[in-house]
A and B are shown apart, each in its own frame.
Chain A
């Protein structure tokens, strides 16, 4: 048996820190496909202060896939949120334009609800096609204590 030591207190802070830092890599503000296509080195600033760069060929790929009216609406990177409340291996892509684009790339049906639920195999395909134009995030369901 031991006293609650400094290490225990430190550990608890570390755990809370891990929860707080889980979405630090997500961009502060996303940019539209049209905006990014105009930049020489397309990038967005992340919450941790770093920059996330896009590959031009991915932007060109998206440009060729999505309809022209979505260029000003599609915000990048597309955030793939892990949603444990929906079950094992379920992810959500929020936003009408983003959900439309994802449905088109993956050949899925989109019901116009403003979000689309996808699963691990879809995520793998999406990430292999668009490694810089997509990013992971973790849903707030993890953060509720």
Chain B
């Protein structure tokens, strides 16, 4: 049985409850639309994350392959020294964007890519390719981090919206409707009783007049 709110069965209470039901239905509609849009954004972010992850895997596979070739040509020690010499800092910009109240990070890659500085005798297509692929992978890693964060935050928002919509749809709206129905039924009962009472009085009065 649906729960009911205990209120006095008066016209004022009925009007109040009807207004409350209208407000609840409006919020439910708004949240449902918000959920649809959030789901759309979430699915787009998931697709983007999958695409970026695949691209990143391919790029890193190519980069490591080229690195292995370089290691075979110059030896581990030379490549490790070149890597140590090339170690540099790069700064990415971290900001936020707002998707219907959900703050999602945006990461702008460094304007200037970190330059590899390896000794002059380390040359060849393999090392150049490895450097190029790793540099491009850096941009993809940042983009992927952005997409992953969006998926996580939008997912949490979807959970919150679903919980709220379910509460409105399956608890609050049915409770309000049941209470309104019960008050309306009480009014009908009262009206019927009044009619019967009037009929009875009329009958008694006519009986008295005849006697």
Contacts and interface: CB of A to CB of B under 8 A. Distances in A.
Interface in B82-133: 93, 95-101, 103, 106, 108
Interface string A119-137: 0100110011001100110
A16 B35 CA distance: 18
A71 to B, nearest CB: 22
Size range of the chain A interface in the assembly:
35 or more
B173 to A, nearest CB: 11
B196 interface: no
Contacts of B106: 53, 55, 132
A3 B40 CA distance: 40
Interface stretch (A28-36, A43-51, A94-102, A105-113): A43-51
Contact of B3 (A2, A12, A15): A2
B10 to A, nearest CB: 14
B186 to A, nearest CB: 13
Contacts of B164: 18
Given A1-B6, A4-B5, A84-B33, A19 B27 contact: yes
Contacts of B3: 1-2
Contacts of B96: 50-53
A3 B6 contact: yes
A25 B6 CA distance: 38
Contacts of A25: 98-101
B5 A128 contact: no
Interface of A: 1-4, 8, 11-12, 15-16, 18-19, 21-22, 24-25, 41, 43, 46, 48, 50-53, 55-56, 82, 84, 120, 123-124, 127-128, 131-132, 135-136, 138, 142, 145
